[in-house]
């Protein structure tokens, strides 16, 4: 198994829909071109930003197949989120991702019937990767959405001998104490890309080398400048870029994050369509108001 760590910006992509709510797989090519032009080298598909819990298994398989087709022969790397409440579905998605040559897979835990212990979580992950033994696996810790808050340092300690393909964690959890323990566990063995855009600078200061985020769809230049400023020791500039990201998130949340993010993608020339319920989509009036606020804060200059 060949494993390259997830460094730099890893974009958690939107799933594109037609106006009627059906998959719009033709849009994937436009997404890939947009991200490549903005310095993104890795995509993370079918995750929370990709509305995976609102997709059928067939739709998720089709989405992965399309992304694999579009990026074949390009520098873009593909990470596929395969987590599901049904572990059989997750295993099917993991097997497909391996067959299509994805760089890695990731899975959040079942969240309706929840694993109540680290041991049970490890068992769930073992089941997911059972037929995908040749592709790196990242557990996706996002307790705010799953409602499952288990110790990730304990998970790494327990899973390392039971899941040979375990590469690390997608750490979407504001517990920075736990994050440090994971980064340093087993002599720094694990790859732990950060997963909360608005805390990215703090994670870099603690040792993060990569980040998975939805904001990189529409604001990759901001976050690339943030990383560059941090690496050259210009913390004032890094803080300014981080705060731009925070202002964007605050604005989008006021409209409903998913709908506002997708509307902004269309403003940038990449139409990924509406959001699916229970996420909201913006009305024409809301979209016009959002555009005005983005212009006023300088957003379109920030992302040039």
Q: Where in the chain does DSSP place strands (E)?
A: 8-12, 42-45, 77-81, 104-107, 137-141, 166-171, 210-213
Rounded Cα distance between 81 and 197, Å, is 18
Nearest Cα neighbor of 109 from 157, 156, 142 is 142
- 170 is annotated as an active-site residue: yes
Q: Taking the CB of residue 72, how many other CB atoms lie within 10 A of it?
A: 11
Task: Tell me if 261 sits within 8 A of 31, measured CB to CB.
Answer: no
From the number of C-beta atoms within 10 Å of its C-beta (0-12, 13-18, 19+), residue 164 rates as exposed
Nearest Cα neighbor of 5 from 194, 255, 159, 245 is 194
- 41 is annotated as an active-site residue: no
DSSP summary character for residue 13: P
Alpha carbon 292 to chain centroid distance?
28
Helices 118-128, 152-159: inter-axial angle, 10-degree rounding: 60
Which one of 99, 138, 140, 209 is the catalytic residue?
Answer: 140
SS3 state of residue 4: coil
Rounded Cα distance between 295 and 241, Å, is 17
Rounded Cα distance between 128 and 82, Å, is 8
Task: Tell me if 104 sits within 8 A of 138, measured CB to CB.
Answer: yes
Q: Please report, in angstroms and rounded to a whole number, the separation of the first and last CA atoms in the chain.
A: 38
SS3 state of residue 238: helix
Which one of 37, 99, 170, 179 is the catalytic residue?
Answer: 170
Residues annotated as part of the active site: 140, 170
């Amino acid at each position: 198994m060949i494993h390259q760590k997830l460094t730099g910006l890893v974009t958690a992509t939107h799933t594109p829909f037609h106006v009627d709510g059906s998959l719009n797989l033709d849009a994937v090519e436009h997404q890939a071109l947009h991200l490549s032009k903005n310095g993104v080298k890795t995509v993370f598909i079918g995750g929370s930003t990709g509305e995976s819990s609102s997709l059928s298994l067939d739709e998720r398989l089709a989405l992965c197949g399309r992304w694999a087709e579009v990026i074949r022969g390009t520098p873009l790397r593909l990470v596929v989120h395969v987590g599901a409440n049904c572990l059989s579905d997750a295993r099917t998605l993991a097997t497909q991702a391996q067959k299509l040559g994805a760089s890695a897979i990731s899975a959040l835990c079942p969240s309706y019937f929840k694993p109540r212990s680290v041991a049970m979580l490890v068992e769930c992950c073992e089941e997911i990767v059972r037929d995908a033994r040749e592709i790196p696996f990242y557990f996706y810790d996002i307790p705010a959405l799953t409602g499952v808050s288990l110790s990730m340092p304990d998970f790494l300690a327990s899973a390392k001998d039971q899941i040979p393909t375990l590469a690390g964690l997608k750490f979407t959890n504001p517990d920075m104490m736990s994050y440090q323990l994971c980064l340093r566990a087993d002599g720094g063995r694990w790859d732990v890309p950060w997963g909360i855009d608005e805390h990215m600078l703090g994670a870099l200061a603690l040792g993060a080398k990569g980040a998975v985020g939805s904001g990189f769809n529409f604001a990759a230049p901001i976050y690339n400048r943030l990383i560059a400023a941090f690496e050259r020791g210009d913390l004032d500039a890094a803080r300014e870029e981080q705060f731009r990201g925070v202002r964007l998130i605050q604005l989008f949340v006021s409209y409903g994050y998913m709908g506002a993010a997708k509307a902004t993608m269309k403003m940038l020339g990449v139409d990924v369509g509406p959001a699916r319920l229970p996420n909201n989509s913006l009305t024409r009036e809301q979209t016009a108001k959002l555009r005005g606020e983005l212009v006023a804060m300088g957003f379109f200059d920030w992302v040039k």
